[in-house]
Amino acid sequence: MQPQRRQQYLDAIGIDLWVPRAAAPAAAPAAVPPAAPAAPAAADTAARWEALRTEVLSCTRCPLHLTRTQGVLGVGPRRCDWLVIGEAPGAEEDRRGEPFVGAAGQLLDAMLRAIGLDRASNVYIANVLKSRPPGNRDPKPEEVSACLPYLTRQIELLQPKIMLAVGRIAAQNLLATDAPLGRLRGQVHRFGATPLVVTYHPAYLLRTPADKRKAWEDLKFARTVYQQLQAAATDGHRP
Ligand code: URA
């Protein structure tokens, strides 16, 4: 990406200075071996997506179906390398049936654009919960347990190379930990076989703009991990 274009995106996020490499919080990521999940038969995939969408839209696995408008599956290409995972739909997402379409969603889009990602072409965005918790309260453990199989099926279909968990709730639930977000940043975790990197939730960043710089470090870290995965995959395919 052209430096000038990247600076425009950083301006949009609200970061006005480059962080010197030496000040980055995390050491350069260690090379991560590429995950090699089995690809589902192509003919099958569209039908499996459709079945998943129908189930999520009409899901009654937990009481959230009584208060939500609709289940929100996700948005983006149905096969792509990047998967971003948030917490749960908010009011606007519940109304429109798409994740991250409110103010936080606009910031998320700007953050993703800064590393060359766009929900229209190369990143899929979903949530841990597919139904909105009333009043945007935190998800309950039993709601997460009921909903996680949907995310697992999405991952099987998408075959992402890397996942980015945005916010404490997504990170803690995906990693089955109660460690604070600050301790989870700057590392390559795994969800199943898929490498997972953690950063702040854009709604938090709207309230705490001083931490946008740390989020930018996380995005660069995730991009480096992805590039290393790609390089390792290319090397693995060389005769
Ligand atoms: N916050 C989330 O975590 N997900 C959304 O889809 C919207 C806001």
The CA-atom distances, in angstroms, between 39 and each of 9, 24, 182, 193, 205 are 34, 36, 34, 13, 36
Instruction: Give tens-digit pLDDT for 179-234.
Output: 999 999 999 999 999 999 999 999 999 999 999 999 999 999 999 999 999 999 98
pLDDT of residue 31 exceeding 70, the answer is: no
Residue 22 CB coordination number (10 Å): 5
What confidence tier does 239 reach under pLDDT thresholds 50, 70, 90? low
Span 118-144, average pLDDT: 97
Distance 232 CA to ligand 1 centre (A): 32
Three-state secondary-structure class, residue 123? strand
- What value, to the nearest 5°, has the Cα angle with vertex 164 and ends 96 and 39? 90
pLDDT at residue 22, rounded to an integer: 39
CATH superfamily, domain 72-237, is Uracil-DNA glycosylase-like domain (3.40.470.10)
Q: Is residue 23 pLDDT above 70, yes or no?
A: no
pLDDT average, residue stretch 19-48: 59
For 183-221, b where at least 16 C-beta lie within 10 A, e where not — what string? Answer: ebbbbbbebeebbbbbbbbbbbbeeeeeebbbbbbbbbb
**Strand residues in the chain grouped as ranges (E):** 82-86, 123-127, 162-166, 189-191, 194-199
Q: How many CB atoms lie within 10 A of CB 160?
A: 25
Q: How many residues does the chain have?
A: 239
pTM for this model (two decimals): 0.86
**The ligand 1 atom nearest the CA atom of 72:** 6
Looking at the predicted structure, is the pLDDT value of residue 157 above 80? yes
Would you say 163 and 191 are in contact if contact means Cβ atoms under 8 Å apart?
yes
Pocket perturbation via mutation, ligand 1, pick of 73, 85, 100 by most ligand atoms within 8 A of CB: 100
Q: CB–CB of 169/90 below 8 Å?
A: no
Q: How confident is the model at residue 14 (pLDDT cuts 50, 70, 90)?
A: low
Domain spans of the chain?
A: 72-237
pLDDT at residue 15, as a whole number: 62
Does the Cβ of 218 fall within 6 Å of ligand 1?
A: no
Any atom of ligand 1 within 6 Å of the Cβ of 89 = yes
The four Cα atoms 130, 132, 138, 143 give a dihedral, to 10 degrees, of -50
Ligand 1: which of 84, 85, 87, 154 to mutate, most ligand atoms within 8 Å of CB?
A: 87
Share of the chain above pLDDT 70, in %: 82
Mean pLDDT of the chain: 89
- For residue range 61-88, list pLDDT tens digits in order: 999 999 999 999 999 999 999 999 999 9
Centre of ligand 1 from the C-alpha of residue 18, in Å: 28
Report the alpha-carbon distance of residue 195 to residue 187 in Å, rounded.
Answer: 10
Question: Given this model, what pLDDT does residue 235 score?
Answer: 86
